[in-house]
Amino acid sequence: MRTAPTILHLDMDAFYAAAEQAAKPSLRGKPVVVGGLGPRGVVATASYEARRFGVHSAMPMAQARRLAPNAAYLVPRFSLYRAVSEQVMELLAALSPLVEPLSLDEAFVDLEAGGSADDSASARAAGERLRADIRRVTGLTGSVGLAGSKMLAKIASEQAKPDGLVLIEPGTERELLGPLSVRTLPGVGPATGEHLRRAGMTTVADLAEAGEDELVRLLGKAHGTALHHMALGHDERPVVAERDAKSVSVEDTFDVDLHDRVRVRGEVERLAERCVQRLRAAGRSGRTVVLKVRRFDFSTLTRSETLRGPTDDPAVVREAAARLLESVDTTGGVRLLGVGVSGLADYTQEDLFAQAAAGAHGGEDDGVEACAEPREGGAGPTTEAEAEPGPGPLAGRRWLAGHDVRHARYGAGWVQGSGLGRVTVRFEEPWSPPGRVRTFAVDDPELMPAEPLPLLRPPPEPGAPPRGGLPPGASAASRGIPA
């Protein structure tokens, strides 16, 4: 444990939903829910306005709609979230070389390693400066926790939500932790929490009083010992700088189980193409192709094939995934498919066509391996609730609620909904007042998918004419621009 609160934990507030509200003036101050919109979709993030109705992350979307029928329901726009996340991570990197991202919207920072803080006063100043910089650069808010350990810094940021800062002074850990639920501690999920409850332990103070021997008897040596140390406020885990990703993957859950084998293969090939796009965007290649299949009965299988060398060739990945599919029985129906590439490298095998040809002819060392769910701690797939729209035939385009479009006459907007051959679009920009709604045919040639606009108005180009002021009655706050 450190003697100064120089470990910082940042957690952006309702990140996906807040980014959508910042991008869509008509949704500010209103309940917004982001996630998969199909019958099996789940909530990824709910705005604080939606949380007042009881909506929360990981809730089935159907239940969320019952609780908040008038909320705006949007599919994720990961390209926007990644862009904002990169801006935030750059601000963290300016504080210290030791930044440990946990997700797009959450990270630990070692302030001491960067010389940003060495006592409580300097740590608080660094945290407040970070919060102000995040608001200035992105227009969003984040909550900051400061403490002498990672565990306590994360607890502090949770207490700071939304848009606050909490500092835990070293030496006060036991007093703070004692009344908290055992579920507050890392590694205590619903099953462990229920096991402890049956043993009469519901608070962290109960764990500390029970002693290490009793917790080891209940939970085993490793878990029991670690939990007792955490209950005493001890956490020596260092902040670890960002490590390279171990895999790149995509997956889709289907609203209705797929039974048609041709359709299943087509979906696998489409996922392989998306996976390679993400692989190339990261400037990587990989040598192991992984197929994930969740069947109608929720049983999940993975199959993997290790190639002769790393590749980022879509044909190679697509054909390997198709070969892996041949070893999976999909007779009863498929509810989820995923394709991933692991064994990443920074270069690509030169003889890609020879590799593809060898795989197609069943080379002598295919290396096909069958296994169950990925092992604990393994690099699992990155789930995106809906595929982001891409180019394609006009009649085949998917107009997903919340995604960006541009019309030849009306400019930038976003999809409010679609169905029965029509698509409804609200035309507004992040820095405009709430815009008008118009409806078009889904194959209107003047309406096209578009990239997300930045959340804050970009600076004018040199020599450009001055922009007009705010529209009448619109304040800077109403446009999401920090004062």
**What positions carry a catalytic annotation?**
106
Beta bridge partners of 9: 108, 145
Phi first, then psi: give them for residue 164, nearest 5 degrees.
-140, -175
Report how far apart the first and last C-alpha atoms of the chain are (Å, whole number). 39
Q: How many whole angstroms separate alpha carbon 350 and alpha carbon 352?
A: 6
Q: Are 71 and 55 contacting, i.e. CB atoms less than 8 angstroms apart?
A: yes
Residue 478 region, left (φ>0) first, then alpha (ψ -120 to 50), else beta? alpha
Q: How many whole angstroms separate alpha carbon 264 and alpha carbon 345?
A: 29
Q: 32-35 and 72-74: which strand pairing?
A: parallel
Q: How many whole angstroms separate alpha carbon 132 and alpha carbon 117?
A: 17
Beta bridge partners of 289: 305, 341
Beta bridge partners of 97: none
Q: Is 192 helix (H, G, I), strand (E, B) or coil?
A: helix
Strands (E), 347-431: 368-371, 404-407, 411-419, 422-427
